[in-house]
Structure 1
C-alpha cells in the first residue's frame, strides 16, 4: 500500500471502531436526519451528560461529527455529521481494468446475463466467454433478459482462450469455471446454474443475484 492509501485505510478503521459501540451508532443514525444539540441527543438517548460527552468526543476524534455554535443562543452548540463522514465505509477495494470478461462453463446463461447487465451500468467494455462453450444461448436466459428489458447477443457462445488478454478483469460466475481456471486471477461469484434446473424461477434467481453483484462491483472498477 502507498502512504496515502494506508492513511485512508487507518481512517476507515478508526471510523469503524468508533461506530462499533451501539450508542455511537445510534447517534450517527439520528444525525443522518439533521443536526441535534447535546441536550436533544441526551433526551433522545436517555443517557447521562458525561457519558454522552465521551461518545461525542470519540466520534469527533474519528472525524465522524463536528460541532457548530448556535447563532441564536451562543451557549448552545449543534452536532452534525462531518461532510462525507460515511463515504467509503462499505468494505471493498477498487480495480483498474481495460475490459471486464465474465466467464462460465458454457457461456450460455450466467456470463451472458452478466455482460448485458454490466453494459447497462458501466462504460468499461465487457464481454463473456466459456471454458467449454455450448452451441447456443439458453432459451431461459434470453427470456429472463427480455423480461427485464435486456437483449442478449445473437451470436453463439465463445471460448475464453482467444478472448482473454492483458488488462482484462476476469469474473467467473460459475464454480466449475473458477476451479478450472484456478490461478487466473480476478474474482469469483458462486452463482447456481439455472440451466441445470431449467425453470423460469431458476433463471430469475440467477438474474437477480448477478444484478446485485454487478451493482456492487461496477462503481469499484475504473478504466485502466
Structure 2
C-alpha cells in the first residue's frame, strides 16, 4: 500500500472530523469570506466566547485556521482560514453592484486589489482610503508593472467621496478595519508592504490579494 497516499487519506479524515461539529463548520464558513476577530465571530454567531475559543483551538490544531496579530491594534487577533487538502469553501454569496476596497492610505494594497479584481470579475471595483496619501506608492506601481496590472487613472481618494450604500466593502488593512464607524462586509488582513518597501513585500501582497480575489470573485452570484 502507498503509505504517502494513506497519510493523505488519514489527514483528510481528520479534517472532516474537525468540521463535523456545526459550530466549527459555521466558523469556517464565515472565515471563507474573510478574516475576523474572535469577538466579531462570536457576535455574528451569537456564540459564547468560551465555546468559540474551543472551536477555534480545534481548527487551529488541525491546520484549518491560523491566528495573526493586527497591524493596527496590536492587542487584537484575527483568524484566517488556511488552504487545505479539502479545497476551497465555495458557498455562494449575493452579487453586489460594486466592490469597494479600503485601506488607510489608499496608496498600495487597495489599488492592487482593484487591478486584480478587474482581471477576475466583471463586477465594477473601486478603492478608497480613510486617510488617503498624496500619491500611489512607487513600490505598488513597480509591482503592478511586474505582474501586468493596470493602475492607470487610479489615485488616492477619501472614503467619504467614493462609498455607496450598496457597495460590497472589503477592508484590506487592519487599521482601516478597526477605525470607529467603518463597517466592512469582508476583511482581508494583508500586511502593509510600504514600510518594508522591498519588491518581495509588494509581491507577497499581490500574491495574497490575488488568492483572495480568486476565492471570492466566483462566489458572487445573482441572489
TM range, normalised to the smaller chain? 0.5 to 0.7
Query: What is the SS of the residue equivalent to 2:148?
Result: coil
TM-score between both structures, scaled by the size of structure 2: 0.59
What does residue range 10-159 of structure 1 map to in structure 2 within 5 Å?
Answer: 20=16, 90=89, 92-159=91-158
Query: What is the SS of the residue equivalent to 1:212?
Result: helix
Deviation of 1:150 (Å): 1.1
Deviation of 1:183 (Å): 5.5
Q: Does 1:199 align with 2:186?
A: no
CA contact (8 A) 1:94 1:222 kept: yes
Residues paired across the two proteins, number: 144
Query: Partners in 1 of 2:88 and 2:101 — Cα distance?
Result: 27
CA contact (8 A) 2:107 2:156 kept: yes
TM-score between both structures, scaled by the size of structure 1: 0.58
Residue 173 (structure 1) aligns with: 172
Residue 63 (structure 1) aligns with: none
CA contact (8 A) 2:111 2:154 kept: no
CA contact (8 A) 2:98 2:167 kept: yes
Residue 216 (structure 2) aligns with: 217
Query: What is the SS of the residue equivalent to 1:170?
Result: strand
Deviation of 1:190 (Å): 0.4
Q: Taking CA–CA contacts closer than 8 Å with sequence separation of 6 or more, which of the two structures ends up with the larger relative contact order?
A: 2
* Deviation string, structure 1 residues 163-218 (Cα, Å, up to 9, x no partner): 11121000000000000155513110000000011111100110100000000000
The runs of 5 or more residues in structure 2 that have no matched partner are: 1-11, 18-86
The runs of 5 or more residues in structure 1 that have no matched partner are: 1-15, 22-87
Deviation of 1:94 (Å): 1.0
RMSD, aligned CA:
2.6
* Deviation string, structure 1 residues 46-86 (Cα, Å, up to 9, x no partner): xxxxxxxxxxxxxxxxxxxxxxxxxxxxxxxxxxxxxxxxx
Q: Does 1:208 align with 2:207?
A: yes
Q: Which of structure 1's runs of 4+ aligned residues deviate more than 3 A? A: none
Query: Partners in 2 of 1:137 and 1:178 — Cα distance?
Result: 20
Deviation of 1:20 (Å): 3.6
Deviation of 1:135 (Å): 0.4
